[in-house]
Amino acid sequence: MVEVRQYDIRPQPRQLADTELRDAFRVYMSPEAMKSEKITQGDWVTIQSVLNPQLYAIGLAWRFQENNAKSNCIKMHDCFRTMHGFEMKDKLTISKYQGEIKRIQEIIISDVTEEGKPLAPCIESNEDLEFCAAAALYNFEAIGPGFTFEAMPRAGSKKSRKRRFLIDQILPETEGASGEPNTIPHYFDRNSHVQLRDSTTPLLRSHPPPSREACRHQPTTQIEPQQADPNSRTARYR
């Protein structure tokens, strides 16, 4: 019987805002742990709570940045951890993700450049803001709801300034399994669309991530590997 290694959670410090999308899905591992799990940097991985197996997340394996990191620990950003319901005391297992990362058909965003303050007059049209947001989203390795990102409208006016957007909702090209949390990573390509939401635009109903309380009343199961479609984006981040 193959022994399943268990890992402690450690926070990954960052200089960016807690909700910043850049690098948000990275799960940091030691070289020894990567070798043991047959994982290389850039692989999509499933991390799962030992105590509550219904709590899981899909992240991007990344090598520890320090040389003296413990091999029985994995690091993640606090926003990623709390979004998926993990606690610092949890023990996790990690394995290579065998499914596919879904393409975004449409993404709905809000302008939160000066959240909590009267928004300064915007000289750009909604179309201009959607265009600059799309250009920024195209360069992210993974995208999920609840994160924020910055985008700079195209040059042409001295009054143009960098904007910050909140990802309100993601509408994937294909629907996920029933009950699948909407926090799983997606990718944005040239066929994906951006819609800038105003305060009067309602959001469509979507599946929230599983809560710890709900998981206590569900049967304990392990996640079954999914076979990736050979004609779609593979489980490995390119």
pLDDT of residue 124: 76
121, pLDDT greater than 60: no
Q: Write out the two tokens for 17.
A: 């805002």
- Average model confidence (pLDDT) across the chain: 79
Identify the DSSP state of 93. Answer: E
pTM for the whole structure = 0.76
Specify which of 38-47, 58-67, 113-122 reaches the highest per-range mean pLDDT: 38-47
> Hey, what CATH class is 102-196 in?
alpha beta
High-pLDDT (> 70) share of the chain, %? 71
pLDDT (tens digit per residue) in 192-207: 999 998 766 655 544 4
211, pLDDT greater than 50: no
* 17 or 63, higher pLDDT: 63
Q: With contact defined as beta carbons under 8 Å apart, do 98 and 225 qualify?
A: yes
* 7-99 and 102-196 agree in CATH topology: no
116, pLDDT greater than 70: no
DSSP class per residue in 15-57: SS-TTB-TTTTEEEE-HHHHHHHT--TTBEEEEEESS-TT-EE
Domain boundaries, the chain: 7-99, 102-196
Quick one: average pLDDT of 153-170? 78
Q: With contact defined as beta carbons under 8 Å apart, do 13 and 90 qualify?
A: no
209, pLDDT greater than 50: no
Q: Which fold has domain 7-99?
A: Barwin-like endoglucanases (2.40.40)
Quick one: average pLDDT of 96-120? 81
